[in-house]
Structure 1
Amino acid sequence: MEGKMTSSVKKKITRFLKLLLPILVTQVTLFAMSFFDTVMSGNYGPKDLAGVAIGVSVWVPISTGLTGILIAVTTLVANYNGAQQKEKIAPLITQGLYLALTVGVAIIIIGSFLINPVLDHMNLEKHVRTVAYHFLRALSFGIIPLFLYSVLRYFIDGIGRTRTTMIITVLSVPINVVLNYFLIFGNAGFPRLGGVGAGVASAITYWIILGLATYIVLTKQPFTSYRVLRTFSPISFSAWKTILKIGLPIGLSIFFEVSVFAVVTLLLSEFDTITIAAHTIAMNFASMLYMVPLSISMALTIAVGYEVGAKNFHSAKQYSIIGILMALLVASVFGLIIYLFRYDVAGIYTNDHTVQMMAGGFLIFAIFFQLFDAIAAPIQGALRGYKDVNITLLMMILAYWVVALPIGYFLATNTDWGAKGYWIGLISGLCFSAVTLFIRLNLLQKKKEETAAVAS
């Protein structure tokens, strides 16, 4: 019996890796757009780097929060797949696209009124503010395609074909880098736009990945068998309600988590440009490493969602354990790499020695980010697979807005820690979320197994 159980776990690890690796490549590649925007803007000049950082800090919480709402599509598709209810998937995707389009248009309209007031409230140098404003305006042309692509991507991932989204994304990154090269530095006869060119390049790239995803869904198996994008039924607010019931808590959880990092960057605008640039470098690199636990989280949503749909709660629990242990192992390796090579990492982003030294100091704190994220992120993904999203939302609000931000603000403004105080606050919030989410997952899994035992 023990041998069979060991064999079962090994098979699950193999299956999970097959599901995870394409998601990881996709997430790292998607993040590479932001990475290259930051690196190439930094090589153009510290002020353009700071301007792009401010622009990204305004945009990322909004985009990740709203696309987070659409993650419900992955959960629902995985559940339908596990329950052998394939016919429900195409209508779900149609309504998801309608919802994404509506949200995208609303964000463009609202953003056009709010960009200036938000930037006016920051103590920014004139050039930094100009770059941030025009970066955001350029990026706005990519909002609708990004949201529409997210729905198609979550459909593709939800049926377990994560390798396809990997291919789409990998193809798009060289295009983004080339466009950055032309538009940031004014090469090959293009206008020299500095940091603003990064926003233009990203917007164009979003249209390209939407086109690729649409082509694949319409022409390639097994996607054509689901008949997605073949017919467009009228808007169904009841279907929107189904998506939002799961997606809204997910989106808000992501928003409250990501926005606190953005608020910290905005609060750092009170410090000098060197500090903003150094913080941006450290946070950008930490965010790139976060793609591993985030990818594990997304893979767990699919794996756990499928098993929950099929009422295999023991298998769902096994996948959760596999994901968390895998994330912790990788985080330990990343922590060692950061400690040994932190100044070399900073040197990738900038040639300014002062910025490099300060960024190296910030990167020490990123080690603790890796460890706590390795627990919190996979658990969030597993909970989404169970459709357990409301308690997670409450935990995120408490972790980041009741614990992290107040502690960080107090340390930054009332002690000698200065900007580093914000990093200590963020680490405190991550620790709180890791502990509370771990408790929640354990309680939920025990309840599910007990219910299944009674039913049998």
Structure 2
Amino acid sequence: MNIKQYTSEFKTNIALAVPVMLGQLGHVLVGFADNIMVGELGAPALAAVSLANSIFFILMGLGVGFSFAMTPLISEADAAKNYLEGKKSYQHGVIILSVLGVVLAVALLLMEPLLGMMNQPEDVVVLAIPYYNVLAFSMIPLLIFQAIKQFTDGLSLTKYAMIAILGSNVINVLLNYILIYGKFGAPALGAVGAAYGTLVSRVLMIFVLLYFISKRKKFKPYKIAISWFSLEKERVMKIFKLGYPTALQMFFEIGIFASAVLLSGMLGTDEQAANQIALNLSTMTFMVATGVAVTATIRVGNQKGLKDYYNLKRIAISNILLMIIISVIAAIGFMSLRTYLPWMYIDDENVVNIAAKLLIVAGLFQISDGIQVVVLGALRGLQDMFVPMWLVFVSYWIVGFPVCYYLGIHTSLGTFGVWIGLLVGLTVSATLLYLRFQHLTKRLLLTEHL
């Protein structure tokens, strides 16, 4: 194998991926800032944020996953210079994601009683409810922004969403400081102050990104006059057919990590707080992987539009190799710094010791997690959504969750056992998805030579 044919694509991959990585990390940094600043209030407050976010992120995964259907449609249209097709996909995506945002926000509010029914510590539930109720409303601007972001990402213009997200983080941290601790005459709202900061920052992201679209010449070909109140049934169904399997993929994956939060909560407040620390750190590296995955989706979608299947596979594998390198570096970092990183979140020796053990497993599953995320991105570029959805379900819920539950609840491993189950699920997912990708690309290459 000539490794250079893959490494030669790294420069292009990185140029596309870095803005997406930074943008996705910006989303996580909102949670990171919340965790750091709420952690100053103690383990119950940090556990409360963890509990509320465990439910929010499950439904958020449905919305964000659904939005990923837009990227391959727009990248394929862009490669073919079919600007009307791209604009219509953008229009339909924004409308669909706006409606979905409202539906999911209402669903979150209706699900609030679940917080008290999950066998969680009572002091944690009391703190979680007001934070959760405010956070629910931020689902609407988050999904509207996500729809616009997928449009710009699909055009390979990934830096503008990055700027919008990182800028909103500055606002979020400032509002957190004011509202959590009661600075500059504001009331000290505690954890719920972090939720208000998140809500405002997510609204601002939309306006920043729309500003770039209105001012930058690169978007000019897509400034086509079409009615925003005229929906095409066939296009809605196409986006739905592409979107719902990806939404369920995200639902299954975020759901397994949310179950780790709930299982840890059953073991105690310190265990749940430690789980939140390890999960937040792992999510940062997951968002780096998401950046590479979006690059795979864009570039595979472009090659699909050009019907160049040889380079499609070569480019996809180059992204997988790039992700493996990044994952190994992340794994080394997690393991070597495991006793130091948790102190950034909380000054509680017991919580830190538990989190340090979890970071050993988090380091081990970096490679599996990275591979499965990027292969999913390549499969999205091929517009293959349905079979991967079921492969993810089997990996996480038929294989991974039973291991999480048994080792976490029925052995002395506790939270460490829960995370071993996550490692098992991610490894099975990476293996099955890669085999699926090889099967599809082999079939495409055969048709190319006929």
For 1:67 and 1:267, the matched residues in 2 are separated by 25
Tell which deviates more after alignment, 275-284 or 411-420: 411-420
For 2:272 and 2:445, the matched residues in 1 are separated by 49
Q: What's 2:26 paired with?
A: 29
For 2:359 and 2:224, the matched residues in 1 are separated by 44
Q: What's 1:59 paired with?
A: 56
1:93 aligns with 2:74: no
For 1:369 and 1:39, the matched residues in 2 are separated by 24
Aligned with 2:9: secondary structure?
Answer: helix
1:107 aligns with 2:104: yes
Q: What's 2:251 paired with?
A: 255
- 1:111-130 CA-partner distances (Å, limit 9, x unpaired): 222211x1121223333112
Unaligned runs of 5+ in 2: none
The answer to whether the Cα contact below 8 Å between 1:86 and 1:226 also exists between their aligned partners in 2 is yes
Q: What's 2:65 paired with?
A: 68
1:416 aligns with 2:412: yes
1:278-297 equivalences in 2 (<5 Å): 278-297=274-293
The answer to whether the Cα contact below 8 Å between 1:93 and 1:228 also exists between their aligned partners in 2 is no
For 2:64 and 2:203, the matched residues in 1 are separated by 16
Identity %: 28
Distance verdict in 2 for CA 1:191–1:253, change over 3 Å: same
Q: What's 1:236 paired with?
A: 232
Tell which deviates more after alignment, 70-79 or 137-146: 137-146
Q: What's 1:356 paired with?
A: 352
For 2:365 and 2:131, the matched residues in 1 are separated by 28
The answer to whether the Cα contact below 8 Å between 1:293 and 1:327 also exists between their aligned partners in 2 is yes
Tell which deviates more after alignment, 130-139 or 147-156: 130-139
How much does 1:77 deviate?
0.1
Residue-pair matches, total = 450
Q: What's 1:48 paired with?
A: 45
Aligned with 1:406: secondary structure?
Answer: helix
Tell which deviates more after alignment, 276-285 or 410-419: 410-419
How much does 1:24 deviate?
1.1
1:324-335 equivalences in 2 (<5 Å): 324-335=320-331
Distance verdict in 2 for CA 1:228–1:211, change over 3 Å: farther
Q: What's 2:136 paired with?
A: 140
For 2:224 and 2:336, the matched residues in 1 are separated by 49
Q: What's 2:174 paired with?
A: 178
What root-mean-square deviation, in Å, do the aligned CA atoms of Structure 1 and Structure 2 show? 1.7
Residue 207 of structure 1 aligns with an amino acid whose one-letter code is: V
- 1:19-76 CA-partner distances (Å, limit 9, x unpaired): 1111111111221111111111112221110000001101011112212101111110
How much does 1:243 deviate?
0.6
Aligned with 1:160: secondary structure?
Answer: coil
How much does 1:9 deviate?
5.0
For 1:303 and 1:421, the matched residues in 2 are separated by 38
Q: What's 1:365 paired with?
A: 361
How much does 1:215 deviate?
1.9
Q: What's 2:156 paired with?
A: 160
Query: TM-score scaled to structure 2, two decimals?
Result: 0.96
The answer to whether the Cα contact below 8 Å between 1:94 and 1:229 also exists between their aligned partners in 2 is no
Residue 87 of structure 2 aligns with an amino acid whose one-letter code is: A
Distance verdict in 2 for CA 1:264–1:229, change over 3 Å: farther
For 1:327 and 1:163, the matched residues in 2 are separated by 20
1:129 aligns with 2:101: no
1:390 aligns with 2:386: yes
- 1:226-250 CA-partner distances (Å, limit 9, x unpaired): 0168741423332211111111111
For 2:422 and 2:76, the matched residues in 1 are separated by 34
Query: TM-score scaled to structure 1, two decimals?
Result: 0.95
For 2:338 and 2:239, the matched residues in 1 are separated by 42
How much does 1:326 deviate?
1.0
For 2:64 and 2:326, the matched residues in 1 are separated by 26
- 1:399-431 CA-partner distances (Å, limit 9, x unpaired): 010001111111122222122211111111011
Residue 12 of structure 1 aligns with an amino acid whose one-letter code is: E
Unaligned runs of 5+ in 1: none
Aligned with 1:342: secondary structure?
Answer: coil
1:205 aligns with 2:201: yes
Aligned with 1:30: secondary structure?
Answer: helix
